[in-house]
Amino acid sequence: MSDAPARLDVRRDRGVTVEWADGRVSFYPVAHLRRMSPSADARQTRRELSANPLTVLPASATRGAAPGPLAIVDAELVGNYALRIRFSDGHHTGIYSWAYLRQIDPGAPRAGTSGG
């Protein structure tokens, strides 16, 4: 599969580094991964925030469920196509496909921007 990473490095307190087969290296901070979770509840929260930036977040969308900073508790491969991450706030329903991780790469150039 061309989207599959060559290497994954999960750091509980920092985030996930992905070395892609094409040589690109992407770093995903823990908070970014949690905020961009592909789970249905997280997608709904993002839609509500997009429509109304003053939306009050439900307790499940915040870190209040666990003491201390947000962290990755566990990460496991899902077949050959994705990564499931369990966070210290209890969230664990998002499955990050390789294609989705590419899409949410915080360091990737965005459409309409030019490098250099």
- Interatomic CA distance for residues 27 and 56, integer angstroms: 29
User: What domains lie within the chain, and their CATH numbers?
Assistant: 5-103 (3.30.2020.30)
| Secondary structure of residue 47 in the 3-state scheme | helix
* Whether the predicted pLDDT of 8 surpasses 80: yes
Q: How confident is the model at residue 16 (pLDDT cuts 50, 70, 90)?
A: very high
| The pLDDT of residue 90 | 92
Paired with 96 in beta bridges are 83
115: left (phi over 0), alpha (psi -120 to 50) or beta: beta
Residue 115 CB contacts under 8 Å (≥ 6 apart), including other chains? 109
Write out the two tokens for 23. Answer: 């040589």
